[in-house]
Amino acid sequence: MNNSMIIGQYVPGTSLIHRLDPRTKILVIFFFVIIVFFANSVWSYSILTAFAIGTALATRVPLSFIVKGLKPVWFLIVFTFLLHLFVSRQGDILFSVLGFPFYEESLIQGGTLSLRFFLLILFTSLLTLTTSPIEITDAIEYLLHPLKKLRFPVHELALMMSISLRFIPTLMQEAEKISKAQASRGVDFRTGSLKDRMSAVIPLLIPLFVSAFKRAEELAMAMEARGYQGGEGRTKIRALLFRKKDYIVFFFFCLVMAATIGTRV
């Protein structure tokens, strides 16, 4: 397992979360994203945080692996918190450091938005960690099936989404390899002025784009060689079926949603 980025990475397993129908997981994540923005109290956020961490533990994927995989987004989470802390000036002054005041409302808003961001990234990442790209494609295609009556290219959209998710860790690994190769040739990405560091990134971006286009071309040729012609007339080797555990999990999630809404201020 590559723990540099967990978004888009699939970890095979036999946990309950792995064995759930992919449609159940997508629906739960969809409503979880909505309910996160309804939370506005300590209790509601505590319920959602406990549910997200409990679900992560239920996947049986090492928690250290998940935390390390979220490393690329920790900067954005901390930046969001500091931005509200230093820019917003709402509420009463809690304390001052070197003459710079820190406001109560700014601290609450920064913590709230950072926690929301963390929960969204963590919970949505669990989908790709426990669901293969093929299952994601089939589930999205099934859920969007009513749009076919409007001649919407449902299968093609689902395929593009699953391929995009699958290529995120691949491109991250490629970028890491290229950066190490450039560093071994004397390119310095960490020191110097901002202009110098931005200039040093250019030798990294060009081969990364070339590699991405090459992989896309190889994938297109492989699909064409296997006779891929879109979603029309395609059959599936595995039929998606809702089982008893799917209904139980979704019912439990409904209780979590009800508890979150009930604890709103």
Give the pLDDT of residue 8. Answer: 67
Please, are residues 122 and 70 in contact by the beta-carbon 8 Å criterion? yes
Picking from 72-76, 118-122, 247-251, which range would have the lowest pLDDT averaged per residue? 72-76
CB atoms within 10 A of CB 125: 22
Q: Across all residues in the chain, what is the average pLDDT?
A: 82
Beta bridge partners of residue 97, listed in sequence order: 100
Give the pLDDT band of residue 36 (cuts 50, 70, 90).
very high
Is this structure's pTM higher than 0.85?
Answer: no
Q: Which amino acid is at 16?
A: L
| C-alpha to C-alpha distance for 251 and 259, rounded to whole angstroms | 12
206-236 per-position pLDDT tens digit: 888 888 888 888 888 988 888 777 666 666 6
Give the pLDDT of residue 33. Answer: 93
Beta bridge partners of residue 100, listed in sequence order: 97
| C-alpha to C-alpha distance for 4 and 121, rounded to whole angstroms | 15
* 16 Cβ contact list (under 8 Å, min separation 6): 58, 245, 249
| C-alpha to C-alpha distance for 168 and 170, rounded to whole angstroms | 5
Percent of the residues in the chain that have a pLDDT greater than 70, as a whole number: 86
Give the pLDDT of residue 20. Answer: 93
Q: Check residue 104 and report its DSSP letter.
A: H
Task: Say whether pLDDT at 3 is over 60.
Answer: no
Task: Say whether pLDDT at 76 is over 70.
Answer: yes
Q: CA dist 52 to 9, 116, 175, Å? A: 18, 11, 30
Picking from 24-33, 37-46, 60-69, 82-91, which range would have the lowest pLDDT averaged per residue? 82-91
Would you say how long the chain is, in residues? 265
Query: What is the DSSP annotation of 137-182?
Result: HHHHHHHTGGGGGGT--HHHHHHHHHHHHHHHHHHHHHHHHHHHHH
Task: Say whether pLDDT at 4 is over 60.
Answer: no
Across the range 75-91, mean pLDDT stands at 77
Place of tokens 């609450």: 108
Picking from 3-12, 147-156, 169-178, which range would have the lowest pLDDT averaged per residue? 3-12
Parse the chain into domains and list their residue ranges.
Answer: 16-131+241-262, 147-225
Task: Say whether pLDDT at 185 is over 90.
Answer: no
Task: Say whether pLDDT at 5 is over 70.
Answer: no
| C-alpha to C-alpha distance for 157 and 26, rounded to whole angstroms | 15
Please, are residues 84 and 110 in contact by the beta-carbon 8 Å criterion? yes
Across the range 109-126, mean pLDDT stands at 88
